[in-house]
């Protein structure tokens, strides 16, 4: 993203120096992440995204445009040759740990004990283990053991 005078902060970024804020500017609304989630689960057509999410057509059109413009999705001709489909790019696929972490947080904190919910499983049908960030020495990391350091 560019467009601000040289040396001035780009007004399209809510917090230009923060990677979290920039990421949220790109995919931080509910619908964008649900489109990414469904693309990871095999959805490819406009109709399929709409059916899975229940999103209004105009909002889905907007989110697909934004995800295409920022290189998270690409468009290709479907194997039938009759319509376009949406596929994740490498940048879009790189959001997998983000979606996984949101899913695992939701499994622990967004459902009552014993309440039914979907579970992500690997190719063998086993539940995906909890994702835990670790330091270079293998020690688990959390908000108390990390801090933000600005780069020069």
Q: What is the DSSP letter of 85?
A: E
pLDDT digits (tens, 9 = 90+) for 3-16: 444 555 566 788 88
Mean pLDDT score, 99-127:
95
**Angle value at C-alpha 4, between 2 and 8, nearest 5 degrees:** 120
Q: What is the pTM of this model?
A: 0.84
pLDDT value of position 98 = 95
pLDDT digits (tens, 9 = 90+) for 54-89: 999 999 999 999 999 999 999 999 888 888 999 999
Residue ranges of domains in the chain, CATH in brackets:
19-99 (1.10.10.10)
Confidence band (pLDDT; 50, 70, 90) for 152?
Answer: confident
- Distance, CA of 128 to chain centre: 18
pLDDT digits (tens, 9 = 90+) for 10-49: 667 888 889 999 999 989 999 999 999 999 999 999 999 9
Query: Is the pLDDT score of 143 beyond 60?
Result: yes
């Amino acid at each position: 993203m560019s467009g601000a005078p040289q040396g001035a902060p780009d007004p399209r970024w809510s917090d230009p120096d923060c990677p979290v804020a920039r990421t949220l500017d790109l995919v931080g609304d509910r619908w964008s992440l649900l489109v990414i989630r469904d693309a990871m689960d095999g959805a490819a057509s406009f109709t399929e995204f709409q059916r899975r999410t229940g999103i209004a057509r105009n909002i889905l059109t907007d989110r697909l445009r934004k995800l295409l413009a920022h290189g998270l999705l690409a468009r290709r001709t479907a194997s039938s040759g009759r319509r376009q489909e949406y596929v994740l790019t490498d940048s879009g696929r790189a959001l997998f740990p983000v979606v996984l972490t949101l899913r695992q947080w939701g499994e622990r904190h967004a459902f009552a004990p014993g309440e039914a919910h979907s579970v992500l499983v690997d190719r063998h049908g086993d539940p995906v283990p909890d994702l835990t960030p670790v330091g270079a020495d293998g020690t688990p990391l959390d908000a108390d053991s990390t801090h933000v350091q600005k780069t020069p």
